[in-house]
Structure 1
Amino acid sequence: MWALRRASNPLKNRVLGIGTSRACCAKSEVASCCLDVKASNGDSRLVASDGCISLKRFYSAAHGSPNFFMGCCSFSSQADTKSSAQEEDDLEDGFSELETAASAADVVQDSSVDNLNEDQLISEPELSEEEDDGDGDGVEEPQNELELFDTEAEITEKRPPQKRASSALFKAIMAAPGLSVQSALDKWVEEGNDLNRPEIALAMLNLRKRRMYGRALQLSEWLESTKQLDFVERDYASRLDLISKVRGLQKAENYIEKIPKSMRGEITYRTLLANCVAANNSKKAEQVFNKMKDLEFPITVFACNQLLLLYKRLDKKKIADVLLLMEKENVKPTRFTYRILIDTKGKSNDITGMDQIVETMKAEGIEPDLNIQAILARHYVYGGLKEKAEAVLKEMEGGNTKENRWACRALLPLYAALGKADEVGRVWKVCESNPNPDECMAAIEAWGKLNKIEEAEAVFERMLKTWKKLSSKHYSTLLKVYANHKMLAKGKDLVKRMADSGCRVGPLTWDALVKLYVEAGEVEKADSILQKAAQQNQMKPLFSSYMAIMDQYANRGDVHNAEKMFHRMRQSGYVGRLRQFQTLIQAYINAKSPAYGMRERMKADNIFPNKAAAEQLVQVDAFRKSVMSDLLD
């Protein structure tokens, strides 16, 4: 762990700022460290019960963020697949709508789901924060540490072979109107249908995979109220997670008080912790972590990884605090821990530090998986180290792309980022005879990066012929290509085709539309589309959708509309992001107008400016004195 902390320290000239950091010392056999939230200044520190030792912070000038999303059977996290060239916190889609699966059965199932009026019940907190940037060079890998209910493998083992592919309970839930799921469940039981834990788990699994958290919550509430299931801690934790997603963190916290004390274990609290992290609420996350310490729960690698994710987004200097805590508590880092650190170093353009962490990981007997290899390759590409990137890509292929077919999805956009059209064509040829939807989307993105619009369109048409019913996620992939190339007319035609197909439109599509109009110079139109979409569908737009518009207003020096967008983002729950304040301040700078009370506004949101933001604040300080004003005084 010492080697890991040493590798995490970037070059001296990359230091952003130094704050006092304190770490706890061992009280007896086990150190009693905790994150203590200081109400006076909002600075979270690792504090000692008996004493303290000094700690070098994890300094980093990194820009960008990881993602955190709810997987189908556990909390999942991904260290993002984002270009290091992007600005800090420039977030991306990650919105997994009703995905069209490769099998015909799933296609039929999804088509019936699309017709349901579910919008008011769907809550997507994680799509707002740190999803992958659309580079497509990463592969989603669940962090299977928080088992809220049976995994798919466990379910299929318990069910008869002939029932493995479907769930009668799930179909009954999907057949019911959005707000009458509980009535449908009553009827389902009255008809004498079997209701056992594997059946319930499979239905819940399918609902979560489609991010239909509102229906999943109704199912959980019905199970508890009718006592159809003897709840164990995992069931309460699953319910807590759904409440957080649908109704917010405060309601989730209130629900904990209703859970029997004997069931308020470590799983319950780490579920709440993960949701606090997903919402980027550092204060609540630290409070939950402290609560877990007070309750004497063991410090797990899952909890530490959640803090690493949080600080990777909000305060990279605190990453070293978490690493020291892990070292003192003898918490061994997992592959996912290394993945977070590797991506953080890559985004700070500290390639040397990134390589050192990889060596430390290997020394601990952990080999890079496909996700880590993709992250390394991406950072090598954007760091100008093309030879190193190509070497990693060849390693990912493993000498035989056909045998390592699962790597194609990551390889396509990475070869495109290198500008290697021949390699993209070669990899796509492996998939072309029988591609899956993810490979098709990766190919569309890759051809788009290479400015080969016709090839991208051909892949999309292939998808339409193969699966007939596509989700908005698939349309949006091509829509982004049009947006990046300012092809407004083609984008409008694609949106019309999408509407004619009866496809359910969500935040992913809105984001692509917003960027389409922004790139075409029609910012007001993009603003109008986003506002209407959010009001009509009662769903939360992506952070990047708001920022694309706000950036344009800031560039114009349009303070009024920049403030309006800032306010709308707060109403949607996007609070406490340095990126928002930097853009807002830039609007004042370009307008050559003072920004009264900006420092106080940032402090109220527990936001502390970095070097760049501090320089911006000086420019809009209404009370700063220039050389000329000093002379006149």
Structure 2
Amino acid sequence: MASRSLFLGFRRRSNQWCVSRLLSSGSVSSEYVGDYPNDSETDDLKSRVFRLRLPKRSATTVIEKWVGEGNRVSISDLRQISKDLRKSQRFKHALEISEWMVSHEEYKLSDTDYAIRIDLMTKVFGVDAAERYFEDLPPTAKTSETYTALLHCYAAAKLTEKAEELFERIKGSNLSFSALPYNEIMTLYMSVGQVEKVSSVVEELKRQKVVPDIFTYNLWISSCAAALNIDQVQRVLDEMRCDSGFNEDWQRYINLVNVYVTASRLATTNSSSPIEIEKGITQREWITYDFLVMLYAGLGNKDKIDQIWKSLRMTKQKMTSRNYICILSSYLILGQMKEVEEVFHQWKQSTTTEFDISACNNILTAFEDVGLTEKANDLHVLLIQRNCSPTNK
């Protein structure tokens, strides 16, 4: 995570004033010297903005120069540049792009533009600034998207009371919401260890006749697994199969959950107690991360799996056979045999968790039980190649 920038002099309540100060800092033309392209370089607005390598340098100055040279700037161009900046975690420059759009009345901002601005305000100035910005919005701009954006800010900061208060406002509004705000509050409860509250959020979602998505089910299943209620996990999976949104991605996810529960013998694991560790991740949260890995495997998103697995290995939490089973199964179902071999090697070389051939046998059996015979065969071959002796049925 990129560290948030700190700005001295941030004292007044007006967010417009705050952003103006931010945009004016470093806006002198000398800051842009040397950023003009060479003959061999692409010369467009995005390229010029991305050549601003230091956060203190002003994207506003770049846009003004671009327009001053007689070039046009469309709102779609600005949105795309902002999106690319956010992907690169250049939030200060992305916020400057947003401010340019706000300050020019010819651009009609969408609900999404306002929601993105709330997220950027949080990343650059903090939650309090984003909160004040939201409250100062006109009623027409307080939409389902902006409400959800602020709720996400609270959830990410683990501000439970503020999130619950806003969630009550959301439920009491006349706006139409998707499953997203419900997912946000469930994510918060999982992150602070209040897993018992997740089921009540699901019940409220159903009362409001909101259609759950695969992330809703993932959070629900994660909460059941964290409480070691495996029977409830199976009931949720059955409900997923009856959902009108059931599709191939959901089936892959269900298959992985079944593999995971069967192979890891989750109901009898000895690592279920929420023991705090140095990096702040509890055993309960690790189960949640395991299911998140499987969710992205079901969606076919390998990049997300790579990111989560890398992050988890950087903690000082002791890896368990269950964790290795989860990541092995996920890569295996995606056909990523190179990654399967790498994880397998890491497990065998681990100094904290003894390699367990019986756990690998459980994976083989579990894959066969859900009809994924080809995947089981792939793992069987790998085990033989690694001089292990699987005793697959």
**Normalized against structure 2, the TM-score is what?**
0.57
C-alpha change, 1:168 and 1:287, in structure 2 (3 Å) is farther
Shift of residue 171, structure 1, vs aligned partner = 2.1
Q: Secondary structure at the match of 1:229?
A: coil
1:169·1:200 contact (CA, 8 Å) conserved in 2? no
Counterpart check, 1:320 vs 2:199: yes
Stretches of structure 2 lacking an aligned partner (at least 5 in a row): 7-41, 268-295, 310-320, 354-393
Match of 2:19 in 1: none
Correspondence list, 1:139-538, <5 A: 168-176=44-52, 177-179=54-56, 180-227=58-105, 229-314=107-192, 315-365=194-244, 366-367=246-247, 368-371=250-253, 373-383=255-265, 417-418=324-325, 444-451=342-349
**Displacement of 1:191:** 2.5
Q: Counterpart amino acid of 2:141?
A: M
1:175 shift after superposition: 0.9
The offset of 1:360, in angstroms, is 1.4
TM superposition shift of 1:223: 2.3
Residue 209 of structure 2 aligns to a residue whose secondary structure is: coil
Pairwise CA distance, 1:267: 1.5
Query: Distance between the aligned counterparts of 1:426 and 1:296, measured in 2?
Result: 45
CA distance in 2, matches of 1:301, 1:225: 33
TM-aligned CA deviation for residue 313 of structure 1: 2.9
1:374: Cα distance to partner?
A: 4.2
Contact 2:256 2:330 in 1 (8 A): no
What CA deviation, in whole Å up to 9, does each residue of 1:50-80 have, x standing for no partner?
A: xxxxxxxxxxxxxxxxxxxxxxxxxxxxxxx
Could you tell me which amino acid in structure 2 is paired with residue 359 of structure 1? D
CA distance in 2, matches of 1:259, 1:397: 39
Contact 1:301–1:334 at 8 Å: present in 2 too?
yes
Measured against aligned partners, the alpha-carbon deviations of 1:372-419 in whole angstroms (never above 9, x if no partner) come to: 54455444443269xxxxxxxxxx999xxxxx99779969x8999359
CA apart distance, 1:201: 2.0
Alignment check: 8 A CA contact 2:260 2:326 kept: no
The amino acid across from 1:174 in the alignment is F
How far apart in 2 are the matches of 1:362 and 1:419? 22
Rounded to whole Å, the distance in 2 between the matches of 1:405 and 1:302 is 21
> Judging changes above 3 Å, is the alpha-carbon distance between structure 1 residues 260 and 409 closer, same or farther for their aligned structure 2 residues?
closer
SS of the residue 1:257 aligns to: helix
CA contact (8 A) 1:178 1:215 kept: yes
Letter matched to residue 272 of structure 1 = L
After superposition, give the CA deviation of every residue in 1:489-526 in whole Å (9 maximum; x if it has no partner): xxxxxxxxxxxxxxxxxxxxxxxxxxxxxxxxxxxxxx
CA contact (8 A) 2:112 2:145 kept: yes
Matches of 1:375 and 1:319, distance apart in 2: 19
SS at match of 2:136: coil
Q: Distance in 1 between matches of 2:330 and 2:212?
A: 35
Give the letter aligned to residue 313 of structure 1: S
Q: For residue 196 of structure 2, what is the amino acid of its counterpart?
A: K
TM-score under structure 1 length normalisation: 0.37
Identify, as 1 or 2, the structure richer in helix: 2
Give 1:428 deviation, angstroms: 11
Identity %: 21
Q: What runs of 5+ residues in structure 1 fail to find an aligned partner? A: 1-94, 98-118, 123-165, 386-395, 399-403, 433-438, 452-480, 486-633
Distance 1:296 1:420 in 2: 42
The number of residues matched between the two structures is 273
| C-alpha separation in 2, matches of 1:426 and 1:293 | 41
SS in 2 for 1:450: helix
CA gap of 1:200–1:371, structure 2 versus 1, over 3 A, is farther
Letter in 1 for 2:345: W
Kindly indicate whether the alpha-carbon contact (under 8 Å) linking 2:260 and 2:325 is maintained by their aligned counterparts in 1.
Answer: no
Higher relative CO (Cα under 8 Å, sequence separation at least 6) belongs to 1
Amino acid paired to 2:127: L
Give the deviation of 1:292 after TM superposition: 2.6
Query: Amino acid of the residue matched to residue 123 of structure 2?
Result: K
Q: Shift in Å at residue 273 of structure 1? A: 1.1
Q: Is the 8 A contact 1:419 1:450 kept in 2?
A: no
For residues 295 and 397 of structure 1, the distance between their equivalents in structure 2, rounded to whole angstroms, comes to 36
Name the CA distance, whole Å, in 1 between partners of 2:104 and 2:303: 47
- The amino acid that maps onto 1:449 is W
